Structure 1
Amino acid sequence: MTIWVDADACPVVIKEMLYRAAERSQINTYFVANQMLKIPPSRFLHTIRVASGFDVADNEIVKLCEPQDLVITSDIPLAADVIAKQALALSPRGELFTRDNIGERLNLRDFFDTLRASGIQSGGPDAINQKDKQAFAGQLDKYLHQHANKP
């Protein structure tokens, strides 16, 4: 089991939670980004630097993830791609993307893209708040508990 992090857009507070979780659970966690990342020294924390470009980090995560791995991302198309590979996807806000909800999330994303393309400003997401951090920590702990001891 491996955790993959779409690290370019992952909030620092979520990365810090993942550093502690990886060490505590002894699970390899890879931070994939198109820039240099500083992570604490640990045999369970790794970085993968990819070239700059549209979806390069996403494509690398999809290529490397395996069934039952966990991918941390707010990127809905990336979540859909890893779900298709039977991996799990969790947003930094604690939303678990599943086969049951990913289609709706893709449609909503496409709708907002269409609005933005037509000049309607919808604004970006709010900053991560305490409720989001708690939801993320709860989902992460649930995943670790369910999958950490499986072969």
Structure 2
Amino acid sequence: MTLYIDADACPVKDEAIRVAERHETEVKLVCDGGLRRPQSPWAQLVIVPEGADAADNWIAEHIRPGDICVTSDIPLADRCLKAGALAIDHKGKAFDADNIGAVLATRNLMSDLRSAGAMEGGGGRPYSQRDRSAFLNGLEILFRKVKR
């Protein structure tokens, strides 16, 4: 099993690495640069060329059944699921065959509404300690699921 982290804007890299260390699992932090090499012997920094979806494409090409991906990118989560892997976002929401279709549809609708100018204003609420705790719990559940 390998834990892949879509690392460019991920707020829970350190937390994910700690969970992976506890489970003695290799971690690949995938980004297009700008991150320091992690101090963990379990973690490797993978730098991909700059460009739209370069990190997503690298993860999708390397992820295998039984692996886990941490990403907030819904299309990447879908690609990981189709490869037989598991996926979770930084707030602890696990993606699966039962919810990915609805999540993708909502994402596409919101993107269309923003493009059409129908939505204004800022993003979501700030990332909280509750979100961090939900992520840690959700990731732990996925690790246990894979190990069964």
Q: 1:63 aligns with which of 61, 64, 82?
A: 61
**Aligned equivalent of 1:45:** 43
What is the rounded CA distance, in whole Å, between the counterparts of 1:92 and 1:58 in structure 2? 16
Q: 1:140 to 1:93 in 2, by over 3 A?
A: same
Kindly indicate whether residue 9 of structure 2 is the aligned counterpart of residue 3 of structure 1. no
SS at match of 2:29: strand
**Aligned equivalent of 1:72:** 70
Unmatched 5+ stretches in structure 1: none
SS at match of 1:79: helix
Aligned pairs, number: 147
SS at match of 1:9: coil
Q: 2:21 aligns with which of 20, 23, 31?
A: 23
What is the rounded CA distance, in whole Å, between the counterparts of 1:40 and 1:103 in structure 2? 34
Q: CA deviation at 1:133?
A: 1.1
Q: Is the 8 A contact 2:38 2:44 kept in 1?
A: no
**Aligned equivalent of 2:80:** 82
**Aligned equivalent of 2:134:** 135
Encode CA deviations 1:52-111: one digit per residue, 9 max, x unaligned.
Answer: 111110000000000111000000000011111110010000000001100100110011
**Aligned equivalent of 1:101:** 99
Q: CA deviation at 1:122?
A: 5.1
TM-score scaled to structure 1, two decimals? 0.91
Provide the identity percentage. 37
Encode CA deviations 1:105-138: one digit per residue, 9 max, x unaligned.
Answer: 0110011111111112253222221221111111
TM-score scaled to structure 2, two decimals? 0.93
Deviating runs (4+, > 6 A) in structure 1?
none
**Aligned equivalent of 1:126:** 125
Q: 1:52 to 1:40 in 2, by over 3 A?
A: closer
Q: Is the 8 A contact 1:115 1:121 kept in 2?
A: no
What is the rounded CA distance, in whole Å, between the counterparts of 1:57 and 1:125 in structure 2? 24
C-alpha RMSD of matched pairs (Å):
1.4
Q: 1:108 to 1:59 in 2, by over 3 A?
A: same
What is the rounded CA distance, in whole Å, between the counterparts of 2:82 and 2:121 in structure 1? 29
Q: Is the 8 A contact 2:16 2:136 kept in 1?
A: no
